Structure 1
Amino acid sequence: MAGDRGGRLAGKRVLVTGAASGLGRRIAERFVGEGARVLLTDCHEAAVAAVADGLGQPSILLDVTQQADWARAIAAVDAAFGGLEVLVNNAGIGPGGTVEETSFETWRRCHAVNLDGTFLGCRTALPLMRATTARDGTLGAILNLSSIAGVIAAANMAAYNSAKAAVRHLTKSVALHCAREGGRIRANSLHPAFIDTPILDNFAVRGLDRDGVLAKLARQIPLGAVGEPDDVAWAAVYLCSDEAKFVTGAELFIDGGISAR
Protein backbone atom coordinates (compact mmCIF):
# COMPACT_ATOMS: atom_id res chain seq x y z
CA MET A 1 0.00 0.00 0.00
CA ALA A 2 2.76 2.44 0.91
CA GLY A 3 4.30 2.12 -2.53
CA ASP A 4 1.16 3.04 -4.46
CA ARG A 5 1.19 6.74 -5.36
CA GLY A 6 -1.58 6.74 -7.95
CA GLY A 7 -5.21 7.11 -7.11
CA ARG A 8 -7.96 9.44 -6.07
CA LEU A 9 -5.82 11.52 -3.69
CA ALA A 10 -2.65 11.58 -5.77
CA GLY A 11 -0.28 14.27 -4.54
CA LYS A 12 -2.50 15.50 -1.70
CA ARG A 13 -0.64 16.56 1.44
CA VAL A 14 -2.58 15.42 4.48
CA LEU A 15 -2.59 15.54 8.27
CA VAL A 16 -4.70 12.98 10.16
CA THR A 17 -5.28 13.12 13.93
CA GLY A 18 -5.88 10.08 16.10
CA ALA A 19 -4.10 7.95 13.52
CA ALA A 20 -2.61 5.32 15.83
CA SER A 21 -5.73 3.12 15.78
CA GLY A 22 -9.36 2.80 14.76
CA LEU A 23 -10.83 5.10 12.14
CA GLY A 24 -7.81 7.41 12.02
CA ARG A 25 -5.47 4.55 11.21
CA ARG A 26 -7.75 3.15 8.52
CA ILE A 27 -8.29 6.58 6.96
CA ALA A 28 -4.52 7.12 6.84
CA GLU A 29 -4.02 3.70 5.26
CA ARG A 30 -6.63 4.33 2.58
CA PHE A 31 -5.31 7.83 1.88
CA VAL A 32 -1.77 6.53 1.36
CA GLY A 33 -3.14 3.80 -0.89
CA GLU A 34 -4.86 6.48 -2.95
CA GLY A 35 -1.62 8.42 -3.44
CA ALA A 36 -1.63 10.95 -0.59
CA ARG A 37 1.32 11.91 1.55
CA VAL A 38 0.15 11.72 5.15
CA LEU A 39 1.51 13.02 8.43
CA LEU A 40 0.04 10.68 11.04
CA THR A 41 -0.51 12.23 14.46
CA ASP A 42 -1.69 10.92 17.81
CA CYS A 43 -1.22 11.45 21.53
CA HIS A 44 0.27 7.93 21.67
CA GLU A 45 3.67 8.63 20.12
CA ALA A 46 5.12 5.12 19.88
CA ALA A 47 1.91 3.62 18.54
CA VAL A 48 1.44 6.20 15.80
CA ALA A 49 5.13 5.95 14.85
CA ALA A 50 4.73 2.20 14.34
CA VAL A 51 1.72 2.67 12.06
CA ALA A 52 3.45 5.45 10.13
CA ASP A 53 6.61 3.40 9.66
CA GLY A 54 4.54 0.60 8.16
CA LEU A 55 3.11 3.04 5.64
CA GLY A 56 6.39 4.78 4.88
CA GLN A 57 5.03 8.07 6.20
CA PRO A 58 6.11 10.52 8.93
CA SER A 59 4.44 10.90 12.31
CA ILE A 60 4.44 13.31 15.23
CA LEU A 61 3.08 13.44 18.77
CA LEU A 62 -0.05 15.59 18.89
CA ASP A 63 -2.34 16.24 21.83
CA VAL A 64 -5.19 17.94 19.98
CA THR A 65 -6.19 19.93 23.08
CA GLN A 66 -2.83 21.78 23.14
CA GLN A 67 -2.24 24.83 20.93
CA ALA A 68 1.54 24.40 21.07
CA ASP A 69 1.25 20.81 19.82
CA TRP A 70 -0.87 21.99 16.91
CA ALA A 71 1.68 24.65 15.98
CA ARG A 72 4.43 22.02 15.94
CA ALA A 73 2.33 19.61 13.88
CA ILE A 74 1.49 22.20 11.22
CA ALA A 75 5.16 23.23 11.02
CA ALA A 76 6.09 19.55 10.69
CA VAL A 77 3.70 18.85 7.82
CA ASP A 78 4.97 21.92 6.00
CA ALA A 79 8.57 20.83 6.51
CA ALA A 80 7.84 17.27 5.39
CA PHE A 81 5.64 17.96 2.37
CA GLY A 82 6.00 21.64 1.51
CA GLY A 83 2.38 22.44 2.29
CA LEU A 84 -0.99 21.06 3.34
CA GLU A 85 -4.22 20.48 1.42
CA VAL A 86 -6.21 18.11 3.62
CA LEU A 87 -6.90 18.06 7.36
CA VAL A 88 -8.76 15.14 8.94
CA ASN A 89 -9.86 15.92 12.51
CA ASN A 90 -10.50 12.39 13.69
CA ALA A 91 -9.16 12.25 17.26
CA GLY A 92 -11.93 11.69 19.77
CA ILE A 93 -13.08 9.99 22.94
CA GLY A 94 -16.52 8.59 23.75
CA PRO A 95 -17.35 8.59 27.45
CA GLY A 96 -20.79 7.38 28.45
CA GLY A 97 -23.04 8.68 31.19
CA THR A 98 -26.28 10.54 31.74
CA VAL A 99 -26.26 14.24 32.59
CA GLU A 100 -26.38 13.31 36.30
CA GLU A 101 -23.75 10.58 36.09
CA THR A 102 -21.25 12.66 34.11
CA SER A 103 -18.67 14.49 36.21
CA PHE A 104 -17.71 18.01 35.23
CA GLU A 105 -14.17 16.73 34.66
CA THR A 106 -15.43 14.13 32.16
CA TRP A 107 -17.68 16.71 30.49
CA ARG A 108 -14.79 19.12 30.02
CA ARG A 109 -12.38 16.42 28.81
CA CYS A 110 -14.89 15.13 26.25
CA HIS A 111 -15.41 18.62 24.85
CA ALA A 112 -11.69 19.42 24.96
CA VAL A 113 -10.74 16.44 22.80
CA ASN A 114 -13.73 16.22 20.48
CA LEU A 115 -14.66 19.89 20.05
CA ASP A 116 -11.71 22.05 21.12
CA GLY A 117 -9.34 19.74 19.25
CA THR A 118 -11.37 20.16 16.06
CA PHE A 119 -11.53 23.94 16.51
CA LEU A 120 -7.80 24.21 17.13
CA GLY A 121 -7.05 21.99 14.14
CA CYS A 122 -9.13 24.09 11.76
CA ARG A 123 -7.86 27.39 13.11
CA THR A 124 -4.19 26.38 13.09
CA ALA A 125 -4.17 24.56 9.75
CA LEU A 126 -6.14 27.03 7.64
CA PRO A 127 -3.37 29.61 7.05
CA LEU A 128 -1.05 26.92 5.64
CA MET A 129 -3.87 25.29 3.68
CA ARG A 130 -4.84 28.65 2.18
CA ALA A 131 -1.25 29.47 1.24
CA THR A 132 -0.68 26.01 -0.25
CA THR A 133 -3.80 25.91 -2.39
CA ALA A 134 -3.30 29.46 -3.63
CA ARG A 135 0.37 28.93 -4.49
CA ASP A 136 0.01 25.50 -6.11
CA GLY A 137 -3.45 25.87 -7.65
CA THR A 138 -4.72 22.84 -5.73
CA LEU A 139 -7.96 22.25 -3.83
CA GLY A 140 -8.16 21.68 -0.09
CA ALA A 141 -10.52 19.90 2.25
CA ILE A 142 -11.21 19.74 5.98
CA LEU A 143 -12.99 16.63 7.22
CA ASN A 144 -14.30 16.59 10.77
CA LEU A 145 -15.35 13.32 12.37
CA SER A 146 -18.61 13.91 14.19
CA SER A 147 -20.97 11.02 14.93
CA ILE A 148 -24.56 9.97 14.47
CA ALA A 149 -24.62 10.77 18.21
CA GLY A 150 -24.27 14.41 17.17
CA VAL A 151 -27.65 14.10 15.43
CA ILE A 152 -29.57 11.53 17.48
CA ALA A 153 -29.34 11.86 21.25
CA ALA A 154 -29.17 9.13 23.87
CA ALA A 155 -29.92 9.45 27.56
CA ASN A 156 -26.59 7.87 28.52
CA MET A 157 -24.27 9.87 26.21
CA ALA A 158 -24.75 13.45 27.46
CA ALA A 159 -21.19 14.77 26.99
CA TYR A 160 -20.55 12.90 23.75
CA ASN A 161 -23.88 13.98 22.24
CA SER A 162 -23.13 17.60 23.07
CA ALA A 163 -19.55 17.61 21.78
CA LYS A 164 -20.32 15.82 18.51
CA ALA A 165 -23.37 18.00 17.83
CA ALA A 166 -21.12 21.03 18.23
CA VAL A 167 -18.58 19.56 15.79
CA ARG A 168 -21.41 19.16 13.29
CA HIS A 169 -22.33 22.85 13.45
CA LEU A 170 -18.77 24.11 13.72
CA THR A 171 -18.03 22.35 10.44
CA LYS A 172 -20.77 24.32 8.69
CA SER A 173 -19.37 27.58 10.02
CA VAL A 174 -15.89 26.64 8.81
CA ALA A 175 -17.30 25.71 5.40
CA LEU A 176 -19.02 29.06 5.00
CA HIS A 177 -15.90 30.91 6.13
CA CYS A 178 -13.72 29.05 3.64
CA ALA A 179 -16.22 29.63 0.83
CA ARG A 180 -16.19 33.35 1.54
CA GLU A 181 -12.40 33.29 1.49
CA GLY A 182 -12.37 32.07 -2.12
CA GLY A 183 -13.68 28.54 -2.13
CA ARG A 184 -10.45 26.59 -2.63
CA ILE A 185 -10.97 24.79 0.70
CA ARG A 186 -14.09 22.83 1.63
CA ALA A 187 -15.25 21.50 5.01
CA ASN A 188 -17.57 18.57 5.67
CA SER A 189 -18.41 16.21 8.50
CA LEU A 190 -18.85 12.45 8.78
CA HIS A 191 -21.42 10.92 11.13
CA PRO A 192 -20.80 7.22 11.75
CA ALA A 193 -23.01 5.07 13.90
CA PHE A 194 -21.46 2.07 15.69
CA ILE A 195 -18.21 1.13 13.94
CA ASP A 196 -16.10 -1.82 15.09
CA THR A 197 -13.17 0.11 16.58
CA PRO A 198 -11.65 0.35 20.07
CA ILE A 199 -14.05 3.17 21.00
CA LEU A 200 -16.79 0.53 21.30
CA ASP A 201 -14.97 -0.83 24.32
CA ASN A 202 -16.76 1.97 26.21
CA PHE A 203 -20.12 0.30 25.49
CA ALA A 204 -19.73 -2.34 28.17
CA VAL A 205 -22.86 -4.31 29.00
CA ARG A 206 -23.05 -6.45 32.11
CA GLY A 207 -22.92 -10.16 31.27
CA LEU A 208 -21.84 -9.68 27.63
CA ASP A 209 -18.41 -10.10 26.04
CA ARG A 210 -17.37 -7.82 23.19
CA ASP A 211 -19.03 -10.00 20.54
CA GLY A 212 -22.22 -9.88 22.57
CA VAL A 213 -22.01 -6.10 22.78
CA LEU A 214 -21.53 -5.87 18.99
CA ALA A 215 -24.56 -8.08 18.43
CA LYS A 216 -26.64 -5.95 20.80
CA LEU A 217 -25.58 -2.76 19.00
CA ALA A 218 -26.27 -4.31 15.60
CA ARG A 219 -29.89 -4.92 16.57
CA GLN A 220 -30.37 -1.14 16.77
CA ILE A 221 -29.34 -0.65 13.14
CA PRO A 222 -31.76 -1.27 10.24
CA LEU A 223 -29.07 -3.00 8.17
CA GLY A 224 -28.52 -5.37 11.09
CA ALA A 225 -24.76 -4.95 11.48
CA VAL A 226 -22.13 -2.78 13.10
CA GLY A 227 -20.07 -0.86 10.56
CA GLU A 228 -16.47 -1.54 9.56
CA PRO A 229 -13.65 1.04 9.52
CA ASP A 230 -13.55 0.94 5.73
CA ASP A 231 -17.17 2.13 5.60
CA VAL A 232 -15.90 5.41 7.02
CA ALA A 233 -12.49 5.47 5.35
CA TRP A 234 -13.87 5.27 1.82
CA ALA A 235 -16.31 8.09 2.58
CA ALA A 236 -13.34 10.12 3.81
CA VAL A 237 -11.48 9.42 0.55
CA TYR A 238 -14.41 10.78 -1.45
CA LEU A 239 -14.97 13.93 0.62
CA CYS A 240 -11.26 14.82 0.66
CA SER A 241 -10.75 14.18 -3.05
CA ASP A 242 -11.41 16.61 -5.89
CA GLU A 243 -14.36 14.37 -6.82
CA ALA A 244 -16.22 16.28 -4.08
CA LYS A 245 -15.16 19.75 -5.23
CA PHE A 246 -18.78 21.03 -5.08
CA VAL A 247 -19.53 19.50 -1.67
CA THR A 248 -19.05 21.73 1.37
CA GLY A 249 -20.90 22.28 4.63
CA ALA A 250 -22.39 18.81 4.15
CA GLU A 251 -22.80 15.92 6.53
CA LEU A 252 -22.63 12.28 5.49
CA PHE A 253 -24.39 9.77 7.71
CA ILE A 254 -22.70 6.36 7.77
CA ASP A 255 -25.19 4.70 10.05
CA GLY A 256 -26.82 1.67 8.44
CA GLY A 257 -30.10 3.57 8.19
CA ILE A 258 -30.55 4.41 11.86
CA SER A 259 -31.17 8.12 11.13
CA ALA A 260 -33.90 7.26 8.61
CA ARG A 261 -36.30 6.18 11.33
Structure 2
Amino acid sequence: MKALAPGTVIFHRHRGYGVITAVNLLTGWISARFGSESRTLDLNLSTDAVQYADGEAILFRRAPPDRMPHARLMAVVRALHQAGYQKLYLYSWPKPSGLHWRWHLFTGKRDWMQRSWREGWYGSGADYNSNPVMGWGDNPGATTEELIHALAKFDPQGLAQALGRDEDHAAWFASVCDALLPGYMYSLDMQRPEGSPLIDMPPVPVMPVRATLPPYSGPDITWPPGWAGLWSKVHVMPAPRINLTGLPEKTD
Protein backbone atom coordinates (compact mmCIF):
# COMPACT_ATOMS: atom_id res chain seq x y z
CA MET A 1 0.00 0.00 0.00
CA LYS A 2 1.51 3.30 -1.11
CA ALA A 3 1.65 6.33 1.14
CA LEU A 4 -0.94 9.04 0.66
CA ALA A 5 0.20 12.04 2.68
CA PRO A 6 1.42 15.60 2.28
CA GLY A 7 4.45 15.52 0.01
CA THR A 8 3.18 12.66 -2.19
CA VAL A 9 3.70 13.36 -5.88
CA ILE A 10 0.51 12.86 -7.90
CA PHE A 11 -0.66 13.18 -11.49
CA HIS A 12 -3.94 14.77 -12.64
CA ARG A 13 -5.25 14.36 -16.16
CA HIS A 14 -5.81 18.14 -16.61
CA ARG A 15 -3.23 19.67 -14.28
CA GLY A 16 -0.29 17.30 -14.77
CA TYR A 17 2.11 16.54 -11.93
CA GLY A 18 1.61 18.05 -8.49
CA VAL A 19 2.32 17.59 -4.80
CA ILE A 20 -0.24 16.89 -2.09
CA THR A 21 -0.33 19.53 0.65
CA ALA A 22 -3.19 18.17 2.79
CA VAL A 23 -5.18 14.93 3.05
CA ASN A 24 -8.52 14.19 4.69
CA LEU A 25 -9.16 10.45 4.44
CA LEU A 26 -12.41 10.78 6.39
CA THR A 27 -14.00 12.71 3.53
CA GLY A 28 -11.81 11.70 0.58
CA TRP A 29 -10.63 15.25 -0.22
CA ILE A 30 -7.05 16.35 -0.74
CA SER A 31 -5.35 19.65 -1.46
CA ALA A 32 -2.54 19.72 -4.01
CA ARG A 33 -0.25 22.28 -5.58
CA PHE A 34 0.27 22.26 -9.36
CA GLY A 35 2.98 24.64 -10.54
CA SER A 36 1.94 27.68 -8.53
CA GLU A 37 3.45 27.98 -5.07
CA SER A 38 0.72 30.37 -3.90
CA ARG A 39 -2.43 28.41 -4.82
CA THR A 40 -3.66 24.90 -4.06
CA LEU A 41 -6.44 22.93 -5.69
CA ASP A 42 -8.96 20.81 -3.78
CA LEU A 43 -9.63 17.41 -5.35
CA ASN A 44 -11.98 14.58 -4.50
CA LEU A 45 -10.41 11.12 -4.63
CA SER A 46 -13.74 9.54 -5.61
CA THR A 47 -14.43 11.62 -8.72
CA ASP A 48 -11.37 13.57 -9.87
CA ALA A 49 -9.29 10.66 -11.24
CA VAL A 50 -6.18 11.42 -9.20
CA GLN A 51 -3.20 9.15 -9.81
CA TYR A 52 0.14 8.47 -8.22
CA ALA A 53 3.15 9.76 -10.13
CA ASP A 54 3.66 6.34 -11.78
CA GLY A 55 0.10 6.32 -13.14
CA GLU A 56 -1.54 4.04 -10.55
CA ALA A 57 -5.03 5.25 -9.72
CA ILE A 58 -5.80 6.54 -6.23
CA LEU A 59 -9.20 5.13 -5.37
CA PHE A 60 -11.12 6.32 -2.34
CA ARG A 61 -13.48 3.64 -1.07
CA ARG A 62 -16.95 5.12 -0.81
CA ALA A 63 -18.69 1.86 0.12
CA PRO A 64 -18.99 1.31 3.87
CA PRO A 65 -16.33 -1.10 5.17
CA ASP A 66 -17.11 -4.37 6.88
CA ARG A 67 -17.71 -3.69 10.55
CA MET A 68 -16.30 -7.12 11.43
CA PRO A 69 -13.61 -9.26 9.78
CA HIS A 70 -15.38 -12.62 9.86
CA ALA A 71 -16.59 -12.73 6.26
CA ARG A 72 -13.07 -11.90 5.04
CA LEU A 73 -11.72 -14.68 7.24
CA MET A 74 -14.30 -17.11 5.85
CA ALA A 75 -13.05 -16.36 2.33
CA VAL A 76 -9.47 -17.02 3.47
CA VAL A 77 -10.39 -20.36 5.04
CA ARG A 78 -12.36 -21.47 1.98
CA ALA A 79 -9.45 -20.66 -0.34
CA LEU A 80 -7.00 -22.55 1.89
CA HIS A 81 -9.35 -25.54 2.05
CA GLN A 82 -9.39 -25.59 -1.74
CA ALA A 83 -5.57 -25.56 -1.71
CA GLY A 84 -5.43 -28.65 0.51
CA TYR A 85 -5.24 -26.99 3.94
CA GLN A 86 -8.46 -28.57 5.18
CA LYS A 87 -7.36 -28.87 8.81
CA LEU A 88 -8.00 -25.16 9.27
CA TYR A 89 -11.02 -24.07 11.30
CA LEU A 90 -12.73 -20.75 12.04
CA TYR A 91 -14.50 -20.34 15.36
CA SER A 92 -16.66 -17.23 15.90
CA TRP A 93 -18.53 -16.31 19.06
CA PRO A 94 -19.88 -13.11 20.68
CA LYS A 95 -18.46 -11.22 23.59
CA PRO A 96 -20.66 -11.26 26.70
CA SER A 97 -21.88 -7.76 25.85
CA GLY A 98 -23.11 -8.95 22.46
CA LEU A 99 -21.71 -5.81 20.80
CA HIS A 100 -18.77 -7.52 19.10
CA TRP A 101 -17.78 -10.97 17.92
CA ARG A 102 -14.51 -12.70 18.56
CA TRP A 103 -12.80 -14.94 16.00
CA HIS A 104 -10.22 -17.67 16.22
CA LEU A 105 -8.43 -19.60 13.50
CA PHE A 106 -6.91 -22.87 14.64
CA THR A 107 -5.23 -25.80 12.95
CA GLY A 108 -4.45 -29.45 13.49
CA LYS A 109 -6.92 -31.54 15.44
CA ARG A 110 -10.57 -30.53 15.09
CA ASP A 111 -11.31 -29.92 18.75
CA TRP A 112 -13.51 -26.85 19.13
CA MET A 113 -13.50 -26.74 22.90
CA GLN A 114 -9.79 -27.47 23.50
CA ARG A 115 -8.33 -25.85 20.42
CA SER A 116 -4.74 -24.65 20.45
CA TRP A 117 -3.91 -20.94 20.58
CA ARG A 118 -1.26 -19.27 18.46
CA GLU A 119 -0.43 -15.58 18.71
CA GLY A 120 -1.94 -13.62 15.84
CA TRP A 121 -4.55 -16.26 14.99
CA TYR A 122 -7.39 -14.72 17.00
CA GLY A 123 -8.95 -11.32 17.56
CA SER A 124 -12.02 -9.25 18.25
CA GLY A 125 -14.34 -7.14 16.16
CA ALA A 126 -13.90 -4.37 18.73
CA ASP A 127 -10.18 -4.12 17.88
CA TYR A 128 -10.93 -4.45 14.18
CA ASN A 129 -13.16 -1.35 14.23
CA SER A 130 -10.22 0.83 15.28
CA ASN A 131 -7.52 -1.02 13.35
CA PRO A 132 -9.00 -3.10 10.48
CA VAL A 133 -6.27 -5.73 10.24
CA MET A 134 -6.15 -9.37 11.30
CA GLY A 135 -2.83 -9.00 13.09
CA TRP A 136 -0.41 -11.09 11.06
CA GLY A 137 1.26 -8.33 9.05
CA ASP A 138 -1.66 -7.70 6.69
CA ASN A 139 -2.81 -4.33 5.40
CA PRO A 140 -6.30 -2.83 5.74
CA GLY A 141 -8.48 -3.93 2.84
CA ALA A 142 -6.11 -6.71 1.77
CA THR A 143 -7.54 -9.23 -0.69
CA THR A 144 -8.00 -12.90 0.15
CA GLU A 145 -4.79 -13.80 -1.67
CA GLU A 146 -2.86 -11.06 0.12
CA LEU A 147 -4.19 -12.20 3.50
CA ILE A 148 -3.12 -15.78 2.79
CA HIS A 149 0.35 -14.68 1.69
CA ALA A 150 0.73 -12.53 4.83
CA LEU A 151 -0.38 -15.40 7.09
CA ALA A 152 2.01 -17.86 5.43
CA LYS A 153 4.85 -15.39 5.87
CA PHE A 154 3.86 -14.60 9.46
CA ASP A 155 3.59 -18.19 10.73
CA PRO A 156 4.62 -20.84 8.18
CA GLN A 157 4.94 -23.51 10.88
CA GLY A 158 1.41 -22.87 12.09
CA LEU A 159 -0.08 -22.91 8.61
CA ALA A 160 1.75 -26.16 7.83
CA GLN A 161 -0.29 -27.85 10.57
CA ALA A 162 -3.43 -27.16 8.53
CA LEU A 163 -2.20 -29.23 5.60
CA GLY A 164 -4.28 -32.38 5.33
CA ARG A 165 -7.77 -33.67 4.61
CA ASP A 166 -10.94 -33.07 6.58
CA GLU A 167 -13.45 -33.49 3.80
CA ASP A 168 -16.69 -33.42 5.77
CA HIS A 169 -15.78 -30.14 7.47
CA ALA A 170 -14.46 -28.62 4.24
CA ALA A 171 -17.72 -29.53 2.48
CA TRP A 172 -19.75 -28.01 5.33
CA PHE A 173 -17.65 -24.84 5.29
CA ALA A 174 -17.95 -24.45 1.50
CA SER A 175 -21.74 -24.70 1.71
CA VAL A 176 -21.80 -22.09 4.49
CA CYS A 177 -19.65 -19.71 2.44
CA ASP A 178 -21.89 -20.17 -0.59
CA ALA A 179 -24.92 -19.24 1.52
CA LEU A 180 -23.44 -16.32 3.49
CA LEU A 181 -20.63 -14.56 1.64
CA PRO A 182 -19.89 -11.76 1.10
CA GLY A 183 -22.31 -10.02 3.42
CA TYR A 184 -22.93 -12.36 6.37
CA MET A 185 -21.03 -14.34 8.98
CA TYR A 186 -21.90 -17.21 11.30
CA SER A 187 -21.51 -17.45 15.07
CA LEU A 188 -20.93 -20.80 16.77
CA ASP A 189 -22.70 -19.69 19.90
CA MET A 190 -25.42 -21.93 21.30
CA GLN A 191 -27.37 -19.94 23.88
CA ARG A 192 -28.71 -21.71 26.94
CA PRO A 193 -32.20 -20.29 27.76
CA GLU A 194 -32.27 -19.06 31.34
CA GLY A 195 -33.47 -21.84 33.59
CA SER A 196 -33.83 -24.26 30.68
CA PRO A 197 -31.65 -26.93 29.08
CA LEU A 198 -29.92 -26.37 25.78
CA ILE A 199 -32.02 -26.59 22.65
CA ASP A 200 -30.81 -29.53 20.58
CA MET A 201 -28.93 -28.07 17.59
CA PRO A 202 -30.94 -24.91 16.78
CA PRO A 203 -30.11 -22.98 13.57
CA VAL A 204 -26.66 -21.39 13.62
CA PRO A 205 -26.85 -17.63 14.36
CA VAL A 206 -26.05 -15.47 11.32
CA MET A 207 -25.25 -11.73 11.35
CA PRO A 208 -24.59 -9.14 8.60
CA VAL A 209 -21.06 -7.74 8.47
CA ARG A 210 -22.24 -4.29 7.35
CA ALA A 211 -24.82 -2.12 9.05
CA THR A 212 -26.57 -1.40 5.74
CA LEU A 213 -27.49 -5.04 5.11
CA PRO A 214 -30.87 -6.46 6.15
CA PRO A 215 -31.14 -9.36 8.59
CA TYR A 216 -30.24 -12.72 7.11
CA SER A 217 -33.21 -14.44 5.48
CA GLY A 218 -31.54 -17.34 3.67
CA PRO A 219 -31.57 -21.05 4.46
CA ASP A 220 -30.74 -22.25 7.96
CA ILE A 221 -27.06 -23.00 8.57
CA THR A 222 -26.28 -26.36 10.14
CA TRP A 223 -23.64 -26.88 12.82
CA PRO A 224 -20.16 -28.16 11.89
CA PRO A 225 -19.54 -31.90 11.68
CA GLY A 226 -18.78 -33.39 15.07
CA TRP A 227 -20.53 -30.58 16.94
CA ALA A 228 -23.28 -32.70 18.53
CA GLY A 229 -22.78 -33.15 22.25
CA LEU A 230 -20.13 -30.46 22.65
CA TRP A 231 -22.52 -28.07 24.39
CA SER A 232 -23.75 -30.35 27.16
CA LYS A 233 -22.41 -27.81 29.66
CA VAL A 234 -21.60 -24.12 29.75
CA HIS A 235 -18.75 -23.29 27.41
CA VAL A 236 -15.80 -21.81 29.32
CA MET A 237 -12.54 -21.41 27.44
CA PRO A 238 -9.44 -22.64 29.31
CA ALA A 239 -7.31 -19.89 30.79
CA PRO A 240 -3.96 -19.29 29.07
CA ARG A 241 -0.97 -20.95 30.67
CA ILE A 242 1.06 -18.77 33.02
CA ASN A 243 4.74 -18.61 32.16
CA LEU A 244 6.81 -17.97 35.29
CA THR A 245 10.19 -18.65 33.72
CA GLY A 246 10.39 -15.59 31.52
CA LEU A 247 11.56 -17.77 28.67
CA PRO A 248 9.58 -18.17 25.42
CA GLU A 249 7.53 -21.33 25.19
CA LYS A 250 7.15 -23.57 22.19
CA THR A 251 3.73 -23.40 20.57
CA ASP A 252 2.13 -26.56 19.31
Do both share a fold (TM > 0.5)?
A: no
Structure label with greater radius of gyration: 2
Q: Which has the higher helix share?
A: 1
Tell me the TM-score range normalised by the shorter chain: under 0.3
Q: Which has the higher strand share?
A: 2
